[in-house]
Amino acid sequence: MPLPGGLWWLLCCRRGFTLLHRDYGDGELSGDGDEDEDEETFELRTPSPAGGGRGPLDVTLTQPVRSGPISDRLQSWEETRSLIPEKGPLEDDADVVVKGWLYREPRGRGPRPWLPPRRAWFVLTRDSLDQFSSSGKGARRLGSLVLTSLCSVTGPERRPKETGLWLVTVSGRKHSVRLCSPRQAEAERWGVALREVIASKAPLETPTQLLLRDIQESCGDPEAVALIYRRNPILRHTSGALYAPLLPLPYGVSAPGPGYAPLREEAVRLFLALQALEGARRPGPLMQGVLQTCRDLPALRDELFLQLAKQTSGPAGPPGLPATQDPAALRYWQLLTCMSCTFRPGGAVRGHLLGHLERTEQALPDSELAEYARFIRRALGRTRGRELVPSLAEISALSRRQELLCTVHCPGAGACPVAIDSHTTAAEVARELVGRLGLARSRNAFALYEQRGAQERALAGGTLMADVLTRFENLAAEEAAALEDSPDAGWRLCLRLHGPLRPEGLSPDGHELPFLFEQEPVGGAPQKLCLGLGAKAMSLSRPGETEPIHSVSYGHVAACQLMGPHTLALRVGESQLLLQSPQVEEIMQLVNAYLANPSPERPCSSPSSSCQDLPDSSSPSQHPGLDEPQGHSGCLGQLPK
């Protein structure tokens, strides 16, 4: 005789006993006769209230196959009803929380919108939501929904275009029950009561969680751990499908954002995506999609860590020798590497993962898998929250356990390549570049900036460089999709002066002076400087001081032109200075004259100068002529009259 669809037999092998278990699941509240395949394959148990012990028997679990034809199985609602005693409503039972008349939308109403809601008598107890044909003692029970800690409640919400009723949805393991009321207050009362009952239930544990606990308790006995793996295929690599999550995920909770299914369904989809990696010709985009799903749905991160631990495990725990030479098996380790550099696993999952990595290193010490295991263990110790998932370039580097190169543009030094990893911050890159340029003893502060044309913004010191590169990659993809063709297209990284300017002790031959021509006004920076013109060079000095803080020979001045009534643009090397003064025409005439006749025998004119108040440190957009492309406002004075 074939087994009913909701009954599963689980074997207990650890101590030579056999345990017969029946999984009752949740009931269906009406006999609509809709067919429903068995979604769950594992028992969910509540932890023992006394010390967490589970008695002398341990359950060995396997991944079962689908049952036989539909005709050989009881319908899910018939099966559940056969397990529920036929009795009338509980009138004086102390477990009754709330009861009353409600409407219920028929299951499967989507393709049959003409079916009206049905009115029935509902009773909510501490264990279930029961539906009866009437409120009398002899009323027939139409069904029951068993409530566990994984059930969820949404609403109330109004359906003005359909029934005009207020809807409260209760989601169980297999079915969702939609309760309707014409009064909002009544719908809210039922919603609150249902949530309170569910919140009072003890947390459920999946069989995988029980096995993780067994492995943790046996971590000092390698033979016992190997025995657990051998007797429980759910812990090992499989080419078959996974019909239920490994961790307890809430029933029926819709994922945020378009394109996502409820969490339990998304968990099963993730496993299918993992298996698709084995034969993917371009695994990078698929890995990035899996990582993005985990970023959008944080509840699935530990689930994916466990799925990857499963797919990288062999018959006795560590992967077997054939896996060390299998490129398809390597894909799981590469994705696990990316996961470890992006997310932090939870406590129990983290402990199991670290143990799995350690056992792999011990079993295959000289293999490439051991190298991946060591890399992942180090990454788990450094990873913190990521703003974005790895870029395709980062995924490619992580798959080879290599560093990633980023390019930073420095005034006077050009493009500087810097090697980073998934944990490198903007402050670390800035410190490395400052050391390369010999600016470690400078009293000025430096920081990394994002720059695109005339736009630039400083990066916080704790910003992860990997996130910045991912953002650049995403922006480039968006611009390519929009077919933008702008001369300012493309973001880049630059090293800039940051904070109050301290010009004391600047060396004319150092790398620090070119930063003066790149710096916008910042808080606390001087707002007056004097410009002096000589026969061979121009100089900048502070008011009242005779020694210049910077000199530029005319050989480095590429162009001099008016940008507005009182604004002069000087292009020095790759930089552009904007000088504001009422006498910009006279300055331009002098500079152009010197540029046209750069004779070394020309007598030097006196560089004495007077000073004038310059624009303050407010946004350049408040001053005419300061928003030109590639223009940076400088704190400059005027020439002598």
Cα 329 → chain centroid: 25
In this prediction, residues 498-504 reach a mean pLDDT of: 63
For residue 396, pLDDT over 90 is answered with yes
Q: What angle do CA 265, 271, 277 make, to 5 degrees?
A: 140
Segment among 105-119, 135-149, 207-221 with least mean pLDDT: 105-119
Q: What angle do CA 526, 529, 531 make, to 5 degrees?
A: 160
* Cα(174)–Cα(151) distance, integer angstroms: 10
Residue type at position 487: P
Q: Say what the pLDDT of residue 562 is.
A: 80
Segment among 87-96, 160-169, 302-311, 545-554 with least mean pLDDT: 87-96
Residue from 164, 47, 154, 58 nearest 103 by CA? 164
DSSP three-state, residue 558 = strand
Q: Say what the pLDDT of residue 291 is.
A: 96
* Cα(452)–Cα(465) distance, integer angstroms: 17
The pLDDT tens digits of the residues spanning 372-391 come to 999 999 999 999 889 999 99
Q: Chain-wide mean pLDDT for the chain?
A: 75
Model confidence at 499, pLDDT cuts 50, 70, 90, reads low
Segment among 47-56, 350-359, 474-483, 537-546 with least mean pLDDT: 47-56
Model confidence at 634, pLDDT cuts 50, 70, 90, reads very low
Q: Say what the pLDDT of residue 52 is.
A: 45
Please state, for a pLDDT cut of 90, what percent of the chain lies above it: 35
- Report whether 73 contacts 5 (CB < 8 A): yes
Residue type at position 552: V
Most confidently predicted of 153-162, 452-461, 562-571:
452-461
The whole-model pTM stands at 0.68
Question: In this structure, are strands 537-541 and 550-553 parallel, antiparallel, or unpaired?
Answer: antiparallel
Which ranges in 283-346 belong to alpha helices (H)?
283-296, 301-311, 327-340
Question: Using the 8-state DSSP alphabet, how is residue 602 labeled?
Answer: S
In this prediction, residues 574-600 reach a mean pLDDT of: 73
Question: Using the 8-state DSSP alphabet, how is residue 491 labeled?
Answer: -
The pLDDT tens digits of the residues spanning 242-291 come to 989 999 999 887 766 678 888 899 999 999 999 999 888 999 999 999 99
For residue 71, pLDDT over 90 is answered with no
For residue 350, pLDDT over 90 is answered with yes
The pLDDT tens digits of the residues spanning 512-524 come to 556 655 556 454 4
End-to-end alpha carbon distance in the chain? 110
For residue 53, pLDDT over 70 is answered with no
